[in-house]
Amino acid sequence: MSYVSSVFQRIKVRNANEPEFLQAVEEVFKSLEPVLEKHPEYISANILERITEPERQIIFRVSWVDDQGVLQINRGFRIQFNGALGPYKGGLRFHPSVYIGIIKFLGFEQIFKNALTGLPIGSGKGGSDFDPKGKSDGEVMRFCQSFMTELYRHIGPDVDVPAGDIGVGGREIGYLYGQYRRIKGVFENGVLTGKGLSYGGSLVRTQATGYGLIYFVDEMLKHNNKVLQGKTVVISGSGNVAIYACQKATALGAKVIAMSDSNGYIYDENGIDLPLVRQLKEVERKRIRSYLNFHPEAQYIEGCKNIWSIKCDIALPCATQNDISLENAKTLVANGVIAVGEGANMPCTNEAINYFLENKILLAPAKAANAGGVATSALEMSQNSMRYYWTFEEIETKLKNIMVTIHSNAAAASSEYGFGYNLVAGANIAGFKKVADAMMAQGNY
Ligand SMILES: NC(=O)C1=CN([C@@H]2O[C@H](COP(=O)(O)OP(=O)(O)OC[C@H]3O[C@@H](n4cnc5c(N)ncnc54)[C@H](OP(=O)(O)O)[C@@H]3O)[C@@H](O)[C@H]2O)C=CC1
Ligand SMILES: O=C(O)CCC(=O)C(=O)O
């Protein structure tokens, strides 16, 4: 058994009930054999076992009163996974499926993603099993206030800087920051990112993950003598990442023909009417099926997984983890897909990833392709520290340069370690080396 496999066996035993975390670790470890061969010092320093064990995990009770006056109890999490490169940084997810294994997989992925941005940010992730769906603004506010009443003691602009993820957008960040300020009594807005523009938010942060994804996919296509212009695109999800991926893909000449939510998907062969989707999702918080009230010529199909049976050139999973199974991957390949861009975190199963790579499909891995969100969060932190605002154009240019650089660094690392043009391996290796070197330099911790 190889060294990497033997370490993975130990990690499996220690984290036996966390399949998503083990999946994420296995996917990264698959790329690391040649790195450890070339750098035996990482083995002596036991980097693999250290990098897979969070520096700190905080689990707490969140009690809040619903609109009926009933006391509700949820569980809150914050994992400070790796601080070697900077303050812990990563989003908060509010979704009923949240448990420690989900937060650990997300925090683990965040280590490499944040390293790839080239900016000084460590890795953290958090959230709760609270379900914001169907809750009133007052309920969401009381939940956020209670969540922050515990979290505030563990975070700070130089300690740990949370942001949004599934179920946490501008409304939730506002309530969370308001409670932080109320408790601390200081205007310390560098403690959270994804804030509203009136109290320290950054231009482009709302669009950043989706735009960054499209910049990355565009770069990958160009590198392979292909173009985005004229391609048909299917996007899963209709949240923050999906909406702005759709906007930028359309602006660059592609045609998005389908989007989904957790109930089902819409197929509009004329191209998705994005202003309508934004109104339905960002403003009215409705289900995507209501698209048909305005476009009766479109189709709504119940069940979100079948979206991958639609023939398209480019698939962009932007909803949640394990969205594309091996079966979905086989259907996409049989239907002629040329590229897959992971907007969500870990949206393809490991079997689906292998199938795409074996079939020479261009695959933009999440750690690289969705890093534009956290990179722009780091730019928000910079602006908060400087007490200054850059313009939309300045930030978008920085975001684009970051995505292009991540692509070239991942491609170079893949080639250097014998993987050819394999961005999955390249992103893992480039991210890993940066963090491993910082950990080595800082001694045993
Ligand atoms: N926001 C950001 O900046 C970043 C987000 N990401 C990742 O992108 C993905 C989407 O995040 P974001 O757009 O912010 O989240 P949102 O909450 O804005 O949107 C999530 C979308 O995915 C759908 N979805 C969520 N859970 C499921 C599920 N279990 N099954 C099917 N559909 C689901 C939602 O549908 P419904 O409304 O029905 O639940 C919704 O359409 C996540 O994987 C997140 O980790 C990665 C980098 C940065
Ligand atoms: O902007 C951030 O800090 C977090 C973004 C995020 O959660 C992610 O990259 O998955």
Å from CA of 110 to ligand 2 middle: 8
Bridge partners of 340, per DSSP, are 315, 363
76 lines ligand 2 (CB under 6 A): no
Q: Which of 89, 125, 231, 433 is catalytic?
A: 125
Does 88 have pLDDT greater than 90? Answer: yes
What CATH homologous superfamily does 208-369 map to?
NAD(P)-binding Rossmann-like Domain (3.40.50.720)
For the question of whether the overall pTM of this predicted structure is more than 0.90, the answer is yes
Q: Is the CB of 162 under 6 A from ligand 1?
A: no
* HEC assignment per residue over the chain: CCHHHHHHHHHHHHCCCCHHHHHHHHHHHCCCHHHHHHCHHHHHCCHHHHHCCCCEEEEEEEEEECCCCCEEEEEEEEEEEECCCCCEEEEEEECCCCCHHHHHHHHHHHHHHHHHCCCCCCEEEEEECCCCCCCCHHHHHHHHHHHHHHHHHHCECCCEEEEECCCCCHHHHHHHHHHHHHHHCCCCHHHCCCCCHHHCCCCCHHHHHHHHHHHHHHHHHHHCCCCCCCCEEEEECCCHHHHHHHHHHHHCCCEEEEEECCCEEEECCCCCCHHHHHHHHHHCCCCHHHHHHCCCCCEEEECCHHHHHCCCCEEEECCCCCCECHHHHHHHHHCCCCEEECCCCCCECHHHHHHHHHCCCEEECHHHHCHHHHHHHHHHHHHHHHCCCCCHHHHHHHHHHHHHHHHHHHHHHHHHCCCCCCHHHHHHHHHHHHHHHHHHHCCCC
The average confidence (pLDDT) of the chain is: 98
Residue type, 290: S
Rounded CA Rg of the chain: 21
Q: Quick: pLDDT tens for 142-171.
A: 999 999 999 999 999 999 999 999 999 999
| Model confidence band, residue 420 (pLDDT cutoffs 50, 70, 90) | very high
Per cent of the chain over pLDDT 90 is 99
What pLDDT, on the 0 to 100 scale, is given for residue 240?
A: 98
Ligand 2 neighbourhood includes 109 CB (under 6 angstroms): no
376 in contact with ligand 1, CB cutoff 6 A: no
Q: Residue 203's pLDDT band (boundaries 50, 70, 90)?
A: very high
- pLDDT tens for each residue of 281-318: 999 999 999 999 999 999 999 998 899 999 999 999 99
Strand-by-strand arrangement of the 232-236 sheet: 299-302, 264-267, 255-260, 232-236, 314-317, 339-341, 362-364
Residue 72: per-residue pLDDT:
98
Residue 305 appears among annotated catalytic residues: no
User: Mean pLDDT across the stretch 380-399?
Assistant: 98
pLDDT above 90 (res 25) = yes
Could you identify the atom of ligand 2 that is nearest to the CA of residue 125? 7
**Average pLDDT of span 70-88:** 98
* Mutational pocket test of ligand 1: of 165, 288, 306, 307, the residue with most ligand atoms within 8 Å of the beta carbon: 165
Report percent pLDDT > 70 for the chain. Answer: 100
pLDDT of residue 418: 98
User: Does the structure show a pLDDT above 90 at 140?
Assistant: yes
Digit-coded pLDDT (tens) for 170-192: 999 999 999 999 999 999 999 99
CA of 239 to the centre of ligand 2 (A): 14
The number of beta carbons lying within 10 Å of the beta carbon of residue 119 is 21
Ligand 1 atom, smallest distance to 263 CA: 38
Which has the closest alpha carbon to 370: 1, 36, 116? 116
Q: How confident is the model over 211-223, as a mean pLDDT?
A: 98
Q: pLDDT grade, residue 444 (50/70/90)?
A: confident
For residues 420-426, give the mean pLDDT.
98
The pLDDT score that the predictor gives to residue 45 is 96
Domain layout of the chain by residue ranges: 54-187, 208-369
Shared fold status for 54-187 and 208-369: yes
What token pair was written down for 9?
A: 């066996």
Q: What is the CA(86)–ligand 2 centre distance, in A? A: 14
33-62 confidence digits (pLDDT tens): 999 999 999 999 999 999 999 999 999 999
Which pLDDT does position 147 carry in this prediction?
98
> Mean per-residue pLDDT for 68-93?
98
The burial class, CB within 10 Å (0-12 / 13-18 / 19+), for 305 is: middle
Q: For residue 130, what pLDDT band results from cuts at 50, 70 and 90? A: very high
By residue count, the chain amounts to 445
Q: What is the pLDDT of residue 263?
A: 96
Residue 1 is predicted with a pLDDT of 86
Q: Which CATH homologous superfamily contains domain 54-187?
A: Leucine Dehydrogenase, chain A, domain 1 (3.40.50.10860)
Q: Give the ipTM of the model, two decimals please.
A: 0.98
User: Which of 377, 382, 384, 402 is the pocket-test mutation for ligand 2 (most atoms within 8 Å of CB)?
Assistant: 377
pLDDT for residue 305: 81
Sign of CA dihedral 275, 281, 284, 290: positive
Identify the pLDDT of residue 445. Answer: 80
Q: How far apart are CA 98 and CA 95, in angstroms?
A: 6
Kindly tell me if the per-residue pLDDT of 388 is higher than 90: yes
State the average pLDDT over residues 326-337: 98
Ligand 2 within 6 A of CB of 342: no
Predicted confidence at residue 159, as pLDDT, reads 98
